[in-house]
Amino acid sequence: MKTEKQTPMGKGPASGIPEIPEPEKAGGRGHQVVAERPKPMITNLKTVETKMKASQPAKPPAQLPPPSEDAEKAARMRDRARTFIMPVLALAFIGLFWEIYSSRTGVVLPGPLKTIHDSWNLIAHPWFDHGPNDKGLGWQLLSSLQRVAIGYSLAAVVGIFLGIVIGKSAMAFKALDPIFQVLRTIPPLAWLPISLATFNQANPSAIFVIFVTAVWPIIINTSVGIMRIPADYENVARVYQLTGSRYFFKVMLPSAAPYIFTGLRISIGMAWLAIVAAEMLTGGVGIGFFIWDSWNSSRMSDILVSVCYVGLIGLTLDRIVAKIASLFGTKGE
């Protein structure tokens, strides 16, 4: 008869409490084998965190806020104020030094205050006309500007044409460049006796002096601009078969325009210088003759006023040429 093995109270299936298995012995040496600790559900936790960070959108770098329109407008106003104020301060300093120097004993040069006082009628009424030998500064400047316009226009047309010829033809460059380099070094007034002997009149002689003075910078700068047209432009012109006026306006003029207008700006200043010197010797109506006649009459104040007008007109002519150059997409510098 089999007897059932009794289990301790509180253990076994009857008690509802699971039985804890006894630890196994390893190697028979009495060392107990400790059960392995359960592994976590997520084994690669660092990898998952890295992927989560990569999936998040990257934050844009911190940037400074764009300047407001008010700040930009204020900066422009300050720049314009400096552009206007600095020349005024420089002129005031020069005028003060001039006034102090002219107040010294034995100095014939009148100061700015005396100049304005003595020549106020000339400044306030520039268009008076009391006869062929007594005209206001307005008529004198207008007569000089007419001569400059004629001589400078002729110089521009001839200079650009010869510059293109020299720039495109190696034979023309070798033949004409040495001659031009010699002629351009001759002073303007040295041409005046030659022009008087040629034309036998003062007005055409003055125009010729303006022409021969202004033409050389235009020729040289235009020829350099034509020589420096990129080879790619020439190749494209051949592919599209651009010839004649189309080649001139599409390829040649846009490429050489900066050089051409640089020569034109240099020439307008030289032409204005030449007319003043030429009119001193040819006589008649003109700002150069007016300055020389004022010197002979010891009217120093009128001379100083005329010189100021000459400078202002020269600056205006230079700005006009620069404005025309900007229409072609270049500063002309």
Average pLDDT over residues 171-185: 91
Res. 122: pLDDT tops 80: yes
Average pLDDT over residues 262-283: 90
Task: Choose the weakest-confidence range: 58-67, 196-205, 209-218, 312-321.
Answer: 58-67
Distance, CA of 302 to CA of 294 (rounded, Å)? 7
Distance, CA of 46 to CA of 39 (rounded, Å)? 16
- The residue written with tokens 């400044």 in the block is 123
Q: Hey, what's the torsion of the CAs at 84, 90, 96, 99, to 10 degrees?
A: -100
Distance, CA of 306 to CA of 78 (rounded, Å)? 34
Instruction: Provide the pLDDT for residue 230.
Output: 86
Distance, CA of 207 to CA of 188 (rounded, Å)? 11
Instruction: Provide the pLDDT for residue 67.
Output: 57
Three-state SS string across 51-83, please?
HHHHHCCCCCCCCCCCCCHHHHHHHHHHHHHHH
| Confidence band of 132 (pLDDT split at 50, 70, 90) | confident
Average pLDDT over residues 301-319: 93
- The residue written with tokens 């006009």 in the block is 320
The model's pTM: 0.73
Helices (H) and strands (E) in the chain, counts: 13, 2
Res. 283: pLDDT tops 60: yes
Let me know: does 206 contact 148? Beta carbons within 8 Å. no
Q: How many CB atoms lie within 10 A of CB 4?
A: 5
161-174 per-position pLDDT tens digit: 999 999 989 899 99
Token output for 133: 């030998």
Instruction: Provide the pLDDT for residue 11.
Output: 47
Distance, CA of 307 to CA of 112 (rounded, Å)? 13
Q: What is the identity of the amino acid at 18?
A: P
213-271 per-position pLDDT tens digit: 999 999 999 999 999 988 888 888 888 887 778 888 888 888 899 999 999 999 999 99
Let me know: does 98 contact 116? Beta carbons within 8 Å. no
What Å distances lie between residue 44 and 41, 49, 54, 56, 284, CA to CA? 9, 9, 16, 19, 104
Buried b (16+ CB within 10 A) or exposed e, 57-74: eeeeeeeeeeeeeeeeee
Instruction: Provide the pLDDT for residue 131.
Output: 80
| Confidence band of 74 (pLDDT split at 50, 70, 90) | confident
Res. 176: pLDDT tops 60: yes
Supply the DSSP string of 10-66, one letter for each residue.
T-BTTTTBPPPPPPPEETTTTEEPPPPPPPPS-S-HHHHHHHHHHHSPPPPPP-PPP
Res. 281: pLDDT tops 50: yes
Average pLDDT over residues 68-81: 76
29-59 per-position pLDDT tens digit: 554 555 555 555 555 555 555 555 555 555 5
Instruction: Provide the pLDDT for residue 49.
Output: 54
Residues 6+ apart with CB under 8 A from 76: none
Distance, CA of 92 to CA of 111 (rounded, Å)? 13
Name the β-bridge partners of 32: 25
Any idea which fold 139-327 has? Answer: MetI-like fold (1.10.3720)
240 SS3 class: coil
Average pLDDT over residues 134-139: 89
